[in-house]
């Protein structure tokens, strides 16, 4: 899963904080032991991590039987320790329990975030190659207001997520130096207080924290939607084309106001269609000079953000390129990776195919390239 060469020999541990009572969730037991799509939240959260990484779970003393039942069928190496009165005390207990394992890195995660992706984990580990701590963040979307209606600027603010990653020795030393009564909102706050270097990486909209009854209700009222997008661009003189985010030296170009990437344009329209948000031309008018020669990854990122703002989760995308030239096979892996990076999903959930029209039509005559895209997403049922 994590193939960065500088991480090959790093011993990575996972610390999951699951000692809370979860009273805001309105469930009849601590929320981390409630079912999420047929599996307890805690088990689903643990399953997000590589089975080769030892897992330390911090639990409440009253929950030992619930914990044993929730983790009985998992393949991970799992241990547990009892937490304290605060999150800070619980994390300290977990870090102390990991001491004998001597991990190089530790990922500290909330049990209430069961939709963590391998892509986000990889980002954190990459950030830890250059920093002592790693924080995944998301931009603020909604306008911020004070209680009296005043507007607060977004500048300098973001939404923080877990897992937060650390070099184990550094964060353990930081926790050991804290007075017993100290309590902090998260682990990055302690890292900052201790002067550790903090690297920021992009978070994931799907990595939601389940807190309130409505969060759980949304999980049971999600609907699956498949939407299609289609695009065509004319071949013109030039040296290269952009297809699915990859530049290919084809000996010709595609005519368009932006970079004319038919693959990303079709996929953008598919995502917009999945939430009934119009088409790419409405969001990025072709007569607007702002988008002249623009890279199409901006369009796809915009559509992804709109899907996320609706509470949508992108499960899979499939693009078919229709052309005689260039040959797609040599570039397929790079295309899949590029789209996966833009959408924050694993490459395994991106399909790129190619076909010809056997010499028929505009594509067969070499006059243009077409693309068709399908997007499978889950969105809350609006009724």
Write the CATH number for 270: 3.30.1330.50
Confidence of residue 151 (pLDDT cuts 50, 70, 90): confident
pLDDT 10s digits, 279-327: 999 999 888 888 888 999 999 999 998 888 777 889 899 999 999 999 9
**Based on the domain organization, do 354 and 255 belong to the same domain?**
yes
Tell me: do 234 and 349 sit in the same domain: yes
Q: 201 and 257, same structural domain?
A: no
Looking at 171, 199, 218, the residue that finishes a domain is: 218
Best-predicted range by mean pLDDT (176-180, 201-205, 209-213, 349-353): 349-353
Question: Is 223's pLDDT higher than 90?
Answer: no
Task: List the CATH number of the domain containing 185.
Answer: 3.90.550.10
Question: Is there a single domain that holds both residue 192 and residue 283?
Answer: no
In the chain, how many domains are there?
2
Per-residue pLDDT band at 381 (split at 50, 70, 90): low
Closest to 220 (Cα-Cα) out of 29, 35, 22, 21 = 35
- Verify that 231 and 298 share a domain, yes or no: yes
- C-alpha distances (whole Å) from 78 to each of 40, 45, 74, 258 are 16, 13, 9, 51
Work out the percent of the chain whose per-residue pLDDT is above 70. 93
Do 311 and 175 share a structural domain?
Answer: no
Asked which of 218, 239, 256 is the last residue of a domain, the reply is 218
Same domain as 354, residue 331: yes
Closest C-alpha to 338, from 379, 288, 301, 380: 301
Q: Are 15 and 94 in contact (CB under 8 A)?
A: yes
Query: Tokens for 264?
Result: 């990303």
Expressed as residue numbers, the domain containing 198 is 5-218
**Which of 164, 199, 218 is the C-terminal boundary of a domain?**
218
For residues 157 and 247, the answer to whether their CB atoms sit within 8 Å is no
Closest by Cα among 32, 34, 9, 38 to 20:
32
User: pTM for the whole thing?
Assistant: 0.63
Tell me, yes or no, whether 285 and 376 share the same domain.
yes
Residues 48-69 pLDDT 10s = 898 889 999 999 999 999 999 9
Q: Are residues 264 and 141 in the same domain?
A: no
Dihedral angle over CA of 234, 240, 242, 246, nearest 10: 160
Residues 156 and 291 in one domain: no
Asked if residue 281 and residue 172 are part of one domain, the reply reads no
Dump the DSSP string for 20-82: ---GGG--SS-GGGSEETTEEHHHHHHHTS-TTS-EEEEE-GGGHHHHHHHHTT--S-EEEEE
């Amino acid at each position: 899963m994590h193939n960065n060469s500088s991480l090959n020999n790093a011993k990575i541990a996972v610390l999951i904080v699951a000692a809370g009572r979860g009273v805001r969730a309105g469930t009849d037991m601590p929320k981390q032991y409630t079912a999420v799509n047929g599996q307890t939240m805690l088990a689903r959260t643990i399953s997000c991590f590589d089975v080769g990484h030892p897992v330390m779970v911090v639990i409440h003393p009253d929950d030992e039987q619930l914990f044993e039942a929730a983790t009985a069928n998992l393949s991970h190496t799992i241990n547990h320790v009892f937490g304290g009165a605060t999150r800070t005390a619980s994390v300290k207990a977990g870090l102390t329990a990991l001491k004998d394992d001597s991990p190089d890195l530790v990922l500290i995660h909330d049990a209430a975030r069961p939709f963590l992706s391998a892509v986000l984990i990889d980002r954190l580990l990459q950030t830890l190659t250059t920093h002592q701590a790693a924080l995944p963040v998301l931009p603020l979307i909604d306008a911020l207001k004070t209680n009296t209606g005043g507007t607060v600027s977004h500048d300098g603010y973001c939404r923080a997520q877990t897992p937060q990653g650390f070099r184990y020795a550094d964060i353990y030393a930081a926790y050991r130096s804290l007075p017993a009564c100290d309590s902090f909102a998260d682990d990055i706050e302690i890292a900052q207080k201790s002067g550790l270097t903090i690297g920021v990486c992009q978070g994931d909209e799907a990595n939601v924290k389940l807190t309130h009854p409505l969060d759980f209700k949304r999980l049971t009222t999600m609907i699956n939607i498949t939407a299609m997008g289609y695009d065509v661009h004319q071949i013109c003189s030039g040296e290269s084309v952009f297809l699915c985010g990859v530049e290919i030296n084809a000996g010709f170009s595609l005519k368009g106001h932006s970079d004319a990437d038919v693959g990303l344009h079709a996929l953008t329209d598919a995502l917009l269609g999945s939430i009934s948000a119009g088409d790419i031309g409405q969001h990025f008018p072709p007569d607007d000079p702002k988008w002249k020669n623009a890279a199409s990854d901006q369009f796809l990122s915009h559509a992804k953000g709109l899907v996320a703002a609706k509470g949508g989760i992108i499960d899979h995308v499939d693009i078919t390129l229709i052309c005689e030239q260039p040959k797609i096979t040599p570039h397929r892996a790079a295309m899949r990776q590029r789209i996966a990076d833009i959408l924050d999903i694993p490459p395994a959930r991106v399909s790129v195919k190619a076909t010809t029209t056997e010499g028929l039509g505009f594509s067969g005559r070499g006059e243009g390239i077409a693309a068709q895209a399908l997007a499978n997403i889950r969105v809350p049922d609006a009724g």
